[in-house]
Each structure stands twice: as C-alpha cells, then as structure tokens.
Structure 1
Amino acid sequence: MSSPLSFTSSSVRTQEALCALAPLLAPLESLRGVNTARARLLARITGGSRVMDLLFRPPETVTDRRLRPALRDIKPGMIATICGVVCDVRPPTPHSRQPWRATLSDGTGTLDIAVFSPWQGKQLVKDAPLALSGMVEQFHDRLGMTTPDYLLPAATTERIPILDPVWPLTAGLFSGQVRQAMTAALALLPPDLPEWLDPALLHHNSWPDFATALHWLQSPASIPDSQSGSAWQKCYARAQARLACDELLADQLAMRIAQRASRARPGRTMTGDGALQQQSLKTFGHAPTPGQRHVLQEIEADMAQPRRMRRLLQGDVGAGKTLVALMAMLRAAESGAQAALMAPTEILARQHAATLTRLSPVPVVFLSGSVKGKARKTALASIADGTAQLVVGTHALVQDGVQFADLGLVVIDEQHRFGVEQRLTLLEKGQNADMLLMTATPIPRTLLLTRFGDMQISRLDGKPAGRKPVHTSLHALAAMEDILAALERALRNGAQIFWVCPLVSESEALDIAAAEARYAELMERFGAVVGLAHGQQDATLREQALQDFATGQTRILVATTVIEVGVDIPSATVMVIEHAERFGLAQLHQLRGRVGRGADASYCLMLHDAALGQTARNRLTCLRDTEDGFLIADEDFRLRGGGDATGRRQSGLPEYRLAPEELVDKILAIAYAQAEVILPSTAPETAQPLDTAPTVLLTLFDKADAARIFNGG
C-alpha cells in the first residue's frame, strides 16, 4: 500500500509527537461522558468520528452573557444574566401545554418568566434565589423571559458562561452535551505541540499557538480580558485566522506530497509485440478508427514507461472505448501481466465479458456476486495462479478473497459509478499496476486531477456511423397529460419507450413518483405493454424484463438507473426521465445514450418540477443544448466543483471547516508561501523528509494518507 511516508520523518521526535496525538485521533466515544449513541449525534454535526473533528467544528456564533444588570435597568432585546428571588409560581393545569409561569424580583424591579421544560419548571420554587440568562422580551407593558437559555440556583451562577459558544445541533443533541464533550476534548490538547508556522508570521499577525487558538475558538471565556471590553473579539478573530491558515497549509502540503509521490511512484514497463492485439482485431473484422488508434498509441506509450500510468479515456457513449480497453489489456498480457476490467453493474460486466471472450485470444474469467459455488472457486483459482490473463467483473473484484498472480493493468469502466476507495482497493491488488479510467462524463474530481497534470487524458472523438442526434426537450411535470398523449401517439407509430424514475418505491421524505407507482399508472393506461426493471428486483425478473423489452414484447420499460449503462436496445427511440433535476449530468448523459442507437430519430424528454433552482436549470439546459460528453463533463466540473483531490469527495467546492470563504481569499497566499518554505515546489522529488511539525499538522487534519487517496483517480 502506497503512503506518503517517504515524505515524512521517522525520527524518534516525530514518533513521540504522533503518540501524543493519539487521544485526539481516537473515536468520539473515547471522550469522558460520551457514549456510542451520543458519539453518533456529535459525528453528525462535526462530519467526522475523531475527537479532532469535534475540535475542528467551530461555533456558529458566540453569545455574550457578560451583561448582568439590575432588573430596573433591563430593556427589551438585550441578552442579560439576572439574579433574583422567585416571588410567585403559577404551574400549568394538568395535561395542558401551557408553560410554568413565575415572577422574579431583585428588589429593584420584577421580571416575568415562562418555561415549557418540566426540568426548568421544577427550578421555579417560591422564595428560591435563581440565576437566569436569555433574551429580554416585551409583553404588553411588562418585561419577561421565555424559556431562558440558563436557569440555575443562584449559588451556581458561575456555570453560566460569560461568552457562550453556539454550536449547530441535531435531533437528540443539546448544547450542554456539546459543551461537555468540547471541554473534555480541549483538555486532551498537548501543551507542547511543535510549531509549523514561521515565528515571524506569528509575531507579525499576533497569532497564538495552535492549542491556544483552539481554546480561544471553542472556549472564548478563556481569552485574556474576556471579562470586560471587546478585546476578546480581536483575539477570537486572530485565533480564527491562525486556524484557517493551518487548514489551508495542510491542504497545500498534502497536495504537494501527493503529487510528488505520484510522480516518483515506481511503475512497470509493459511492452509487447502486438501479436495478441492483431489476433483480436482479425476476429473483430474491422480496423480501429483513427481516433482509437491515436488514443491507443498514447496509452501504450504510458504503459511502456517505468512509471505508473494514470490515464483517463474519455469517449462519448458508443465511441468505441471497449475495443481500446481490450487492446490495452492484451498489451499487458503480451508483457506477461494480468489485466482486470471492473464495471459497475452485472449487466454491463457480463456484456464486457462476452465481448472480450469473443475477441480475446487469451483466457477471460468473469467474476461477480452471482458467481457461486464451484464456478466461483474455479474463477478465484485461475485469477490467483495467473491462468486468467484477462479478468472482468463487478465490485466483487475488490473483495478480500480475490488475489491476483500479477495484476499489471486495472481498467475501471463507467468510472463515475465507483468511489475512490473501490478504485484504490482494486489498484492495490497489483504491484505497481497501471490504471485506465473510462467514462463518457468523468467525475469532477478526476477532471481536477487532470488539471493538476497528475492524470493524463485521452479523448476518443466520434460516434459510430449512422448514429443520429437525440432531440432533447424539457417539460414541467404539470404537463404530464400532454406528455402521455404524445407517448400514446408514438406507441401507435411503433415506438419503444424507456421511462426512468429516481426511486423504486414511494418516499415519505421526497414527493417523487417512484418506479413502482409509475408502472402501475402506466399499466392502467396502456395495459400489458408496460414492463418494470429496478435494482431491488430479483436478478432473474429484472433480466426477463429487459429481455421482453429488447424483443418488443413490452413497449414501455419503467426503470431506475439500472439501465444507465450496459443496455443496448437499438429499437428504443424515446427516453423519458422523470424528475430529471434529481440526477447528475453524468447520469443524464448516460441515460440519454440508451436511445439514438438505431437508424430512427430519437427523443429524450426530461420532466422536471416547476420550482427549479438555478443550478438544476443550468444542468438541464446544458443537456438540452449539447450531446458533447466533453462539454457536459466540463460543465459538470464548473457547476459542482472538483471535490477533494487528497480526500474522498468526488465533487463539490473545497470544503474547509476552519477557513470560511471570507478568510480563504485573505490567507491562501500566506498558506502557499508557508508551504513553499516547508516543501519548495522547485525541490527535487528526492527532497529531505518532512520535519516533525508539518507531519503533526498533516496528521491533525487527516491528510496523512493523501498520497494514497490521490492515486485513486
């Protein structure tokens, strides 16, 4: 398994520092007072399961509770902490939803109190001294406080924080529980962490050290001079800026380390005499197109180099990527290595296996979850002993029990359907294996890597001869009756229709027509010509539904995204996509590619909710206006962002926990300069290992595995 260890120090000092971080890297349930159930709730608001993730969840705001006036001086709208004695208590009538009511007096004035919590109601005892804190409100001609944030015996006033952080909450999680967990987490911060920022930078900006910055952020009452004045706000802002710089610096360093590791990572030279390729092409009966020859030359040149290939083969639906992949796999076989092709669905994987078996002069083995018993044992044995030179399968290929004799090339088809870890797991079953990703619309994260120059891209232009454009149109769901009438006319003219729904069955959370509900409605209108295929069906039933549609026994196939890839039915000429705004650009492009495969004109109707957001409208408009998968992928990148090149997110804008957008622009240049000092971009790839301090920084920000993740494409 590759890792960035070649770029980090293994000195005793570094190991000691990393050992000191162990409590911060431990699960949330390791904190005192946090059980497994509460840890799950905390993980929801932090986005991670480590203690450090909790510390990296900044408050949304800070409530200033330092104002402690006499009741004669309070005014509506102020947040005040008040001490007084309960004059009278008026409990609610039994079984009612009325609040407990009381009046508080401090000798200078009175305040009405209303609480709905039984626990707070129990604190309202006549003549009892109380302390409470919250927003003062005006009720007619009287001042009051409804459901105070704090209501405690006056002797415990110190339990009300003077500066009160407000963290986000989730159902079942209360602010006091977050505060308790945060206090326990802060206590685990080592006091002597090594400093990774330049001392001159810290002095110039008056930034505190890392641990102090976290204390100030999560417990602003610990800031000097927080008892009075506004000096605490300036300290708080400095803590925010320092931590934002730390996060951006960790990101910059992780990217540099990952890029270096990728470029320095040893590969294997795979060359051949082309004999197997020629045998395959002779069976195929056609010469490769100029576009196929061009991209194959690029791929073979990469495979011949003594470094790992990481290449994306981008070609539109039907452009001939499978033949190129087969030629690359046979080149690996010619060099004595195995090659594996992983597809996201069994339908597509079996299609590939059938194609490769027909065209390959060397043995091809198929593996999926449905391969059981003796057949599975035989397949696993032939993969392990190298008899299977070409292997085709589904996610089953990444399972622990699958061992390769010598995996030299990994091909991932429909790359956008796999996660980073799945791609990595298969890649790591080989020794320095090359990787070829194939898709019509690459995920934004992969486009991001190509822009870094750390993944090469081969674009396969053109479509099969005779392929006609698909007429694409947008329709509001309110026009459903008109759409059904149009489909009725199309059926009379002999059309076959795909109808794609985003869900299998009705969802209470989303008001979306599901496949089963839509199937029932269309059956009622059109009769037995309607079929149904979705991922929760028994595989035999689903295959029969697809077969019935392919042979024309059914004329409308209601389906989910199980038909997104691997379904080739040239007679289908109409694609209806219900709630198209719920699908991504890559999915929409793939779904549309299921029609337009024959000689007849084809149509794609994208049905959408009337209340479309601007991003969804832009996405659907892009699909309507172009069939160019390259343009669609670029638009997807622009709309969704490139994800995290050193993490597992495959799309989205960069997500920083401690660096809000307004700080990123101000501090990014500083972080870049600091990264340039620690790991200069001009330094050779054999540069000295990282010192202890930046190694600790990367570990704290969960970037220690950046090089491995980066390698997953």
Structure 2
Amino acid sequence: MSGRPEILFPLFAGAETLPGVGPKTAQSLAQMGVETPRDLLFSLPYSVIDRRRRSSIKGAELPATLTVEVTIGRHRPTRNRGGAYRIHVTDAEVEFQLVFFHGRSRYLEAQLPEGARRVVSGKVELFDGVAQMVHPDHMVPLAEADDIPAFEPIYHLTQGVTQKTIFKAVRGALERAPSLAEWIDPGQVTREGWPSWTEAIASVHAPQGTADLAPESPARARLAYDELFAHQLTLALARQKERRVRGLQSQATGRLQSKVLAALPYRPTNAQARAIEEIAEDMASDKRMNRLLQGDVGAGKTLVAFMALLVAVEAGGQGVMMAPTGILAQQHLEGLAPLAEDAGVVIEILTGRDKGAERKAKLAALARGDIQILVGTHAVFQQDVAFRDLRLAIVDEQHRFGVRQRMELAEKGKGADVLVMTATPIPRSLALAQYGDMDVSVLDEKPPGRKPVKTAVVSTERMSEVVDHLRKAIAEGRQCYWVCPLVDESEVSDLTAAEERFKHLHAILGDDAVGLVHGQMPPAEKDAAMAAFQDGRTKVLVATTVIEVGVNVPNASIMVIERAEIFGLAQLHQLRGRVGRGSAESTCLLMYQPPLTEGGRKRLEVLRETEDGFRISETDLQMRGAGDMIGTAQSGLPRFQVADLERQAGLMAVAQSDARALLAADPHLQSDRGQAARVLLWLMKQDQAIRLISVG
C-alpha cells in the first residue's frame, strides 16, 4: 500500500491536463474544490436540459428550451446603442427571431450568413406575440449538429467557468476513467441492479431526463454507496486497529452493584439493564471497549454510567468520568455522590479550578488508588495526573470530543475501556456516519416516575399573559428557566436580548427573584448565578443557551423559550428536558414571533406532539439536512459529495455491515476484493484508512 495505484494516475493529474482547461480556468476550478479529473468526475450535474431536435417550434408550450434546424433570413442590426440585433429565421413550419444584445454585426454575419442552414438551441419566449430565441446556447452548422447532446447535463459553476467548459472537461475526464475491479459485495450489486463503477460514472454525467438525477437512480445510488462504503471501511479499519490493542479485562463481581440496586427506589428499565450487561461484557473481554451510550433526555444514563464505573472498581481498578465544563462536572458529581455512598466507594472531582496544596493532595490520592472514581474536565489530561490503575473512561457529550481525545484518554490508562455518553438522540444514519467505529447501546425507555412535560406554543404577542402566569407559579414556590435566543453570531446582540429580558422580568417580579447567565460572563459569576438558582434563592433564571447541557434543578418546572422558531429541533428538545425532573407538573412554553413560516410551524408542532427524541431528530434531519443539524463544522461529520444522508440512510447501515464483514474475512485487504477496496480508498482520498492499512 506504499503509494497510489498506477491505474488511478490519470485521474489524479492536474486539472489543466483536461481539454479546454488553461491555467486560469484551473484556478477557477480549484475554488470549487476541483483540482484533478477525479474531483470533476465526482461533481455531478444537478439538472438536465432536453435538447432533442424538433422539426419546428410550432406547437411547443412556451417558454421552453428548443432545438431546431433553421434557414437564416435577413439581419436587422440595432438602430441605437443597447438595442437588440435581430435575425429572422425559418424552421420547417414557422418564422421566428434570434435576438442578440450588444451583438456585433461582423461576427454575426460571419456566423449566421443569410441563406445558410444552422441548428440553433436555446430558450424560446413570446414577446408581443413574436417568438424569440434570445442569445441561443448553441448555433452550429449541420455538420456539427451532433455535438449538441440530446440531453445536456447542467453543473454548478463558479466565476470564470462556463457550462461548455465543464461539459468538455468532464468528457475529457470520462475518457480517462479506468475500468476498476468491483469492491462492493457481488450479491449486493446483483440485488440492487447496480452498474459497475465505470458505467455508473459515465451514466451520471449523461442523464437522459430528470429521473436520472434522483438519488435513487441506479448509477447515483451506486456512487453514493461507494462513498459511504469507503467511509465505513475507514471507520472499520480504525475500529479493527483499536481492538487489536489489548484491553484490560475487568471482571464484575456484582459486590458493589448489588448494593446500589438494593438502594434504588425502582427497578432499572429493560433498556438500562441491557446496556449495563453489554458494557460489563465488553469490559470483561480482552478487547478494548469503544462503546457509545445514546439515551434521550431523562432515559437514566447516569445509573448506567455509574454501574459501568463500579465494574472497574469491583475489578480492583479506577474509573474516570469526563465532562466538557466545570459546571457539568460538578453536576455529575452531585448525581453520582449518593450512588457512591450506597456502594461505599470514594469519589472525587478534579477541574482546572483545583490549585496548590488541594490539587497536590488529590493527585497523590489518585496515584495511590485511594480515589476510586474521579469526575473531571479536560484537566484530567494534564501531564501530572496519574492513576494507579485506570480501567474505564466515560466521556460525556461526544460532540465536543473527537477520536483524537478518545485516544489521548486511552493513553492515560493503557488499554482502558472507553464509554461515550450522548444525550442527543441522533438518527441512525448520522450515528453510523459519526460513530461508525463504535458499538452502540441505546436507552429508549424512560424510567418510571418521570412526568411528561406539557408543551404549549404561544405567540410573543401574549408576553404579558405569560409573565402573569409566571408570577403565580413563583408565588407557589416554583422555579423557571427563561431562555433567550442567540440572535446572531455577535455576542453583543445576544447579550442585549438576555439583558433586556432580565431587566423587564426584574421590574415585574421584584428584586431577588431573577438571575442572569450568558456566555460572556466570567466563569465565577456564571457559577454563582447557577448556584443561586439551584439553591432556590432566585426563582427565574434568564439564560442564553448555556444551560442546555446537563443542568439539573428538580424544582424548576417551567421552561420558557423565546423565539423558539429559530432554534433547532434537537436543541429545543434538549432544553425542554431541563424541566420535568422533579415531582411537580412541568410546562414548556415555546414562544414564537409571528408570522411563522411553514417549516417553523411544523417543527414546533412535532415538539408539541411527542417527547420521543429519536422521532424528533429524524424529523429534524428531514427538515434541515445533516450538516445543519449537528452544525457540520464542529461535528466531525464527513462531507459527502454524492451520498445524501437524509434520503439514503438505509445505504449507510448496509455499508457498515459490508465493511465490517469484508475486514472480518480479509483483515489486511489482500484478497481480490480486498485489493479492489484499496483502490476505492485511494479513489475516495481516504488517507487516514490508507495509513491504517500500511501500518497495520
């Protein structure tokens, strides 16, 4: 696997080696991300123009793009500057006009001499009852008429590149497309009726109508599958390499777990029991665990995580639980401390705030093994933090935690098992794209005793009613979150939105009742405001979205979200999950600013109808698309050129099992199909995978 296979060399030459592409066009193409013939082949047309030839424009429904053979009649040059240059032409049945603005007589007389026969193609429209073709796309002598494709593919362009240039360059690139050995499972190809790669790439660039542009068309589906399969193969290679690292075998005894279960007021749900069992099994094996625990808001992830930590302790080792922020680490500690007490294990917290002697003492206890469970932030990664025997690392909220950090963490405990927790129910197709190298446990039932949250949608025009309602609720001792939107990227205006609302509520509800938290505050102030709300000293917490992840205030039973229509569905669902944690009936008010768009209305209705995070996220994916949903920039979600994650979710699952099966049968990709798969990885520029194979 030393270098790119020779068969692909022609596709990886410079773009300027293509017909009609000079240095300047090559620069323009590079701005579209096209640097080689290969890149051009994967820039598929998004539309197609029917240029099949007709005998006459008569009887066509105008406006329409038409292609006809005509006899050139007389020229009528412009009388005034900026006027139109007209040429009368006749097809087999009727006369119409070709119209040129800024037309140069000498050029047009040379191109379209009177009496000559030409084939013209372009958009025909009626102006004052006269049919006109303004600036034809094509006008050629009969001998060259075959150069006009019957169906012309239309490509996304950039400045300095015309359709004609791309069309010609793509044709050149197609001539270099080699015949490649098949890397997809032959059964899959037959079942789906897919063409070979070479046939598929030729046919997507020669659509015979709009049906050929659909993601479901065999050629497009095949190329989408190639892309997903290459991605899943990369993840599967990473997984194979991770699993080759010998893990620690941590055998649960049940000694500590049984104490916790005995102290619980209810039985774990079946989903919790199943997840605990899957994790214990992984931890007992000599392979390293790399598992994702995916659970909706309130599905009881904390219990599962704690049971996993106990397996590490029962086996004589230590466990660590990581959170993205100090506030969340503190919350994890509060959630886990009572359980730790039931089990009789020592739990401690380590964040960037620990300084001096106190920090030293904690580090010493950790190294001695006196601290059995550590809760912390990224501070845990620092050089001087050493465990006596780290067996399990639990990472919260994957979005902020990529593969690289998972590796770093594993370094701390050579071969320690890794469990990642996310509260974002991600649709299966996205979960596979993002976490395809992991095994997944899903918590899809709610523990008993959690009351559903009543959700209502109200217009901002009813603000005063909402505030009245709030005043009564506070008088009854209840607490409320009031979330203000981040209006735009500049922190300044988001601040003003939150501060304005804070002043407004402060004036109505009285001095000590209202607190404020936003992204611009120094951490200490933020913590103080959160603490005042948690202790019930303030009754209303006005906040920008900093509260969405993990905050737990059981007495808070009202959530008001202002301008809910501009939030993402998954985000609204997360925010709503902050209430409904205590014994009181909880309400979530989604306030929108009229008029609502159709999409906005639909999103808010989905929330009103269901509390099932997975259903909500599927809807979100259909409505907003994959990139938007997780904010592609920070999600580590791959960008696919052909595959459409919303509409081809099913293919992703097939690609994953296919990739894993191929590697199980042929771990070093040495077989014929394995060799073909190597070519695919080079073709798809999966450098990471290529490195894994060459070192593997």
Q: Distance in 2 between matches of 1:677 and 1:322?
A: 33
Q: Which residue number corresponds to residue 191 of structure 1?
A: 178
Partner of 1:462: 447
Q: For 1:691, what is the secondary structure of its paired residue?
A: helix
2:78 corresponds to which of 89, 94, 101: 89
Whether the 8 Å CA contact 1:83–1:129 is kept in 2: the answer is: no
Q: What is the match of residue 154 of structure 2? A: 166
- TM-score, with normalisation over the residues of structure 1? 0.67
The CA deviation string for residues 182-216 of structure 1, in whole angstroms up to 9 with x for no partner, is: 467557x4535445579999999999864465345
CA displacement at 1:575 relative to structure 2: 0.6
Match of 1:697 in 2: 680
The one-letter code sitting in structure 2 at the alignment partner of 1:146 is V
Q: For structure 1, which runs of at least 5 residues remain unmatched after alignment?
A: 1-9, 93-98, 116-120, 221-229
Identify which of 285, 298, 301 aligns with 1:305. Answer: 285
CA distance in 1, matches of 2:180, 2:198: 8
Instruction: Check the 8 A contact 2:351/2:378 in 1, yes or no.
Output: no
Residue 201 of structure 2 corresponds to: 214
CA shift digits 1:650-704 (9 cap, x unpaired): 899x988279999999xx8xx989x989968996989964432233235434678
Q: Structure 2 matches for 1:404-553, cutoff 5 A?
A: 408-415=391-398, 417-418=399-400, 421=403, 429=411, 432-445=415-428, 454-457=439-442, 462=447, 469-491=452-474, 493-505=476-488, 516-517=496-497, 519-521=499-501, 523-524=503-504, 526-527=506-507, 530-550=514-534
* Counterpart check, 1:79 vs 2:66: yes
Instruction: Please state how far the C-alpha of 1:500 moved relative to its aligned partner.
Output: 1.5
What is the deviation of 1:272? 5.5
Q: TM-score, normalised by structure 2?
A: 0.68
What percent identity do the matched residue pairs reach?
Answer: 34
Contact map agreement 1:412 1:423 (CA 8 A) in 2: no
- Deviation of 1:637 (Å): 4.3
In structure 1, C-alpha distance between the alignment counterparts of 2:557 and 2:192, rounded to whole Å = 65
Equivalence for 1:602 = 586
Deviation at 1:303, TM superposition (A): 0.8
Q: Does the C-alpha gap of structure 1 residues 383 and 597 become closer, same or farther in structure 2, counting only changes over 3 Å? A: same
Alpha-carbon distance in structure 2 between the residues aligned to 1:563 and 1:205: 47
Q: Report what 1:135 is aligned to.
A: 123
Q: How does 1:577-592 map to 2 (within 5 A)?
A: 577-584=561-568, 586-592=570-576
Asked whether the 8 Å contact 2:313–2:319 carries over to 1, the reply is yes
Aligned 8 A contact 1:253 1:679 in 2: no
Q: 1:34 deviation in Å?
A: 5.6
Aligned equivalents of 1:192, 1:447: Cα separation in 2: 32
C-alpha distance after superposition, 1:510-548 (max 9, x if no partner): xxx956325415624642655432334443443344345
Structure scoring higher RCO (CA < 8 A, sep ≥ 6) equals 1
Aligned to 2:115: none
**Superposed counterparts of 1:247-326, under 5 Å:** 247-248=224-225, 251=228, 265-266=243-244, 268-271=247-250, 290-291=267-268, 294=273, 296=276, 298-313=278-293, 317=297, 321-322=301-302, 324-326=304-306
Aligned residue in 2 for 1:633: 614
8 Å contact kept, 1:531–1:558: yes
Matches for 1:6-21 after TM superposition, within 5 Å: 10=1, 15-17=5-7
Structure 1 residues 270 and 505, CA gap change in structure 2 (3 angstroms): same
Deviation track 1:269-324 (CA, whole Å, cap 9, x = no partner) reads 4326769958x989x99569642994545532331122343445456656764354
1:241 equivalent in alignment to 2:218:
yes
State the secondary structure of the residue aligned to 2:503.
helix
Residues 427-454 of structure 1 show CA distances to partners (whole Å, capped at 9, x for unaligned) of 6656554332334553223896699995
The answer to whether the 8 Å contact 1:409/1:435 transfers is yes
| Residues 1:145 and 2:133 aligned together | yes
DSSP 3-state at the match of 2:309: helix
Residue 55 of structure 1 corresponds to which residue in structure 2?
41
Give the counterpart letter for 1:657 in structure 2: V
CA contact 1:130–1:153 (8 Å) conserved in 2: no
1:329 corresponds in structure 2 to 309
Shift of 1:578: 2.6
Distance 2:256 2:191 in 1: 65
Q: CA deviation at 1:101?
A: 1.7
The change in CA–CA distance for 1:468 and 1:707 in structure 2 (over 3 A counts) is farther
2:551 aligns to what SS in structure 1?
Answer: coil
Letter in 1 for 2:590: M
* Superposed displacement of residue 503, structure 1: 1.6
The 1:16/1:353 distance shift into structure 2, 3 A limit, reads farther
Gaps of 5+ in 2: 113-119
Aligned-partner Cα distance in 2 for 1:352–1:303: 22
RMSD: 6.4
Conserved? CA contact 2:480–2:559, under 8 Å: yes
Shift of 1:39: 3.5
